[in-house]
Structure 1
């Protein structure tokens, strides 16, 4: 077939622009539908796995805890999660009380979050009413730079900051006596300070800011219910 003959192919059998657009549009619609479908199917699984991971982390941040009870803490009330019915709308912060084998309250686990270098850094920390200090921490979510920012999860010296980080309240029980702060590596001089990781100061400060914001807000509410928390060890989850 000559070039002239090729150029004489009837226009009726040439693919039109409209047909191509329709085809591409259809493919895009089907692809979008499949993405949404997969998201809807996997979302409950992902959500449940996150819930399980978070609740299991309670035993990591509260030393000697062997069982836990989940609560919802609001400015006015503290309610056991298993006492909340479907027809009861309860707003508040979810917290986790940890108990030892004898049923004694060993601490309460709470969440904290603040912007880091890449994204929000979410942590779970354990608060001990006995020493009025933070006694453990674990990272729930972080996308910080590998080898630098992600060292907040593994660096022994950094994690040692949270063996007994001062979180005492003032006499009015309305705020911390000393705000939790992150200081440059090697310059820590007070028990409420966090010694930053060298080369990951931004991420270290995100941890400190999250802890300070959370403790300043939640601890004044929490201390009002310590008697209830101490007596709520029956039916704890192991």
Structure 2
């Protein structure tokens, strides 16, 4: 039997005090953790919102202002008012003349270390991706984090083909290939030494564009048809 147990048996009052003290310390610690979280949450949310806004302008060059949209289950878009972006799925970017530059789309998926959150820019007129940024990643420093820094890798997303066929689906799914083996406009040239992380980016974008791009393409066609109809009147 341990010395602490012996003391507890010999001094039950002291044992009770010790137990109460431990419970009290636990309660105070939990309270401080919750209080710290509540106090820092607004700042964390503000910083995330600022980082997201900056990323939108980065992946959609030429954008002057944006509009957040949500995505209905039937594939239609609905506008989200300023200050309520909890349902936002994507962001439309417009130039100074209110002409659509493209859409910034958030996506996420499993990387080597943890979930990777990204955002990419889509030009519906050219049917290509025109920008890409990592929003959140815990990939290995010096290896996996090359997906954020490697210039050759980032160049993949300046004109990545996501053309939609006549049946309304993507003609080719975006995939990552081994570094130096890219032959097609819808392929991402991977990173040697960061194979899993760069392949994860291809998987994330491949899945997201298969689901989202056809919807955006169809919505742009409808908007163009409305504009043409209005001009003819």
TM-score (normalised: structure 2): 0.84
Name the counterpart of 2:151.
Answer: 156
Conserved? CA contact 1:168–1:176, under 8 Å: yes
- 1:211-222 map, 5 Å: 211-222=205-216
* Residue from 37, 47, 52 that aligns with 2:50: 52
How far did residue 222 of structure 1 move? 1.6
Helix, strand or coil: the match of 1:224? helix
RMSD over equivalenced CA pairs, Å: 2.5
Name the counterpart of 1:135.
Answer: 130
How far did residue 94 of structure 1 move? 2.0
Bigger fraction of residues in helix: 2
* Residue from 36, 58, 61 that aligns with 2:59: 61
Conserved? CA contact 1:74–1:221, under 8 Å: no
Name the counterpart of 2:79.
Answer: 80
Name the counterpart of 1:70.
Answer: 68
Distance 1:45 1:92 in 2: 20
TM-score (normalised: structure 1): 0.83
How far did residue 92 of structure 1 move? 5.7
The alignment of Structure 1 onto Structure 2 pairs a total of residues equal to 215
Helix, strand or coil: the match of 1:82? coil
Name the counterpart of 1:17.
Answer: 15
Helix, strand or coil: the match of 2:156? helix
How far did residue 205 of structure 1 move? 1.0
Distance 2:67 2:164 in 1: 24
* Residue from 22, 39, 42 that aligns with 2:40: 42
Structure 2: runs of 5+ lacking an equivalent = 1-9, 227-233
Name the counterpart of 1:112.
Answer: 107
Conserved? CA contact 1:105–1:229, under 8 Å: no
Distance 1:161 1:44 in 2: 35
Distance 2:51 2:153 in 1: 22
